[in-house]
Structure 1
Amino acid sequence: MNDSNAQQRRLLAQIQTLFAKEIPFHQLLQVEINHYDLNGLEVALTMRPELIGNPGHQILHGGVTATLLDVAGGMTAFAGVIERHPEAQADEIMARLANLGTIDLRIDYLRPGRGKQFIATGKVIRTGNKVAVVRMELHNHQGDHIAAGTGTYLVG
C-alpha cells in the first residue's frame, strides 16, 4: 500500500466524519454518507414528513433537494483536491477544507421529489488550485432522476 493512498483514505474519512457528524444542519436532515472515495460518493436521505415541501403532492422540499446536491458537490470537490495534491500534508489539506465554500450552485429540478429515499452523487468537472467545479445528480430509490446541479466551490 502506497503511503500517499493511505493518507488520502484517512483524509477522506476525516471529511466524511465532518460532513456527517459535525455539521448540525446535516444532522438535522439526517444526511447519510453511504460511500465516499476518490472515484465518487453516494449521499442519501430518507423521506420523512418534515421534509415535504408540497403537502398536496407529498414531494420533497426543493431546498432539501438543493442541500443534498450541495453536500454531494462539496464533498466531491474536496475529493478532487485530495486527488490533485496526493503528496500534500494532512494539515495543508485540512486548512484548505476550512476555507471550503459554495461560490455558485445551479439546480435543475427535473421531476417532483417522490420516493422513499433520495441518493445524490457527484463528479468532478475540474479542480483548480482555488476553485473546483462539480456536476451532481439526485435520484430516488427507484432510479428516477429528480434533479441535477452544477456547483462551483472555493477549495483553496
Structure 2
Amino acid sequence: MARPEPVQVVKERRDAALARLVDGVPFAAFLGMRFDRRGDELTALLPYRDGLIGNPVLPALHGGATAAFLETAAIIELAWAQLWEAMEAGRLPPEGRLPLPKTITFTVDYLRSGLPRDAYARARVARSGRRFASVHVEAWQDTRSRPFAQATGHFLMPEAAGQGSEPAGARPSDG
C-alpha cells in the first residue's frame, strides 16, 4: 500500500496550481484579487481601495469592478474544478498557463450598493459538461447571507489539462 503524501506537499501543489490559474487572468492582479483555498473550496477576495469606487457621493463600488470580480471568481472556480483530478494526480503541465474557460454570457444582478470595504465571492458550478458550463456566483461584504451582487454565467470549457486536440475535421484511422 502506497504511503500518503505529506500534507505540506499536497498544500504546496494545490497552492501552486491556484497561483498559476490566477496568474492566467491578468485583470485579477489589476483588481488586487486574491483567493482563499480550503480544500477544493475557493473564496475570492476583492480588497477595498479607493480606485474601486464608482459613485463617490454614496460611496459605492463601481459596477464594472463588481462584474469583473464576479466573472473572474466564476472563471477561476470552473478551471479549478476542471483541473482538480489532474492536479491531485500530479498530471498538470509543469510550466505555462493553465487552460481557462471562455465567457459566452454573463448576467449580473446588482442587489444593493457595494460599500467601501472588502468584498468576497463564491462561485458554484451549476452544470459542467465537456464543452459548456453554467456557474452561479454571489458577492457579499459583511454577511454572506446578504449578497450585494450575484451573477449567472455560461462558459465554453477548454480541453482538460493534458489532453491533446485533434485538428478540425480529423477522423480516427481505421487501421
- The TM tier, using the shorter chain, reads 0.7 to 0.9
Residue 33 (1) aligns with residue 35 (2): yes
Residue matched to 1:102: 103
Aligned length: 148
Give SS of 1:98's match: coil
In terms of mean alpha carbon deviation, does 135-144 or 145-154 score higher? 135-144
> TM-score, structure 1 length as denominator?
0.78
Give SS of 2:70's match: helix
- Percentage of matched positions with identical amino acids: 27
**Offset, 1:31:** 0.6
What residue identity is the alignment partner of 2:30? L
Residue 113 (1) aligns with residue 114 (2): yes
Task: Pick one of 9, 18, 26 that aligns with 2:20.
Answer: 18
Residue 66 (1) aligns with residue 67 (2): yes
**Offset, 1:15:** 4.3
CA-based RMSD: 2.8
Unaligned segments of structure 2, at least 5 residues: 159-175
What residue identity is the alignment partner of 1:82? L
Residue 50 (1) aligns with residue 37 (2): no
Residue matched to 1:154: 156
What residue identity is the alignment partner of 2:125? V
Judging changes above 3 Å, is the alpha-carbon distance between structure 1 residues 129 and 84 closer, same or farther for their aligned structure 2 residues? farther
> TM-score, structure 2 length as denominator?
0.71
What residue identity is the alignment partner of 2:156? L
Give SS of 2:148's match: strand
What residue identity is the alignment partner of 1:117? D
Distance 1:99 1:32 in 2: 17
Residue matched to 2:79: 78
Distance 1:152 1:13 in 2: 26
**Offset, 1:99:** 5.1
What residue identity is the alignment partner of 1:105? F
**CA displacement, residues 27-57 of structure 1 (integer Å, 9 cap, x when unaligned):** 121111122643x211111221110011111
More helix by share: 1
Unaligned segments of structure 1, at least 5 residues: none
Distance 1:71 1:87 in 2: 26
What residue identity is the alignment partner of 2:15? A
Contact conserved, 1:37 with 1:79, CA < 8 A, in 2?
no
**Offset, 1:20:** 3.8
In terms of mean alpha carbon deviation, does 98-107 or 133-142 score higher? 98-107
Q: Which has the larger radius of gyration?
A: 2
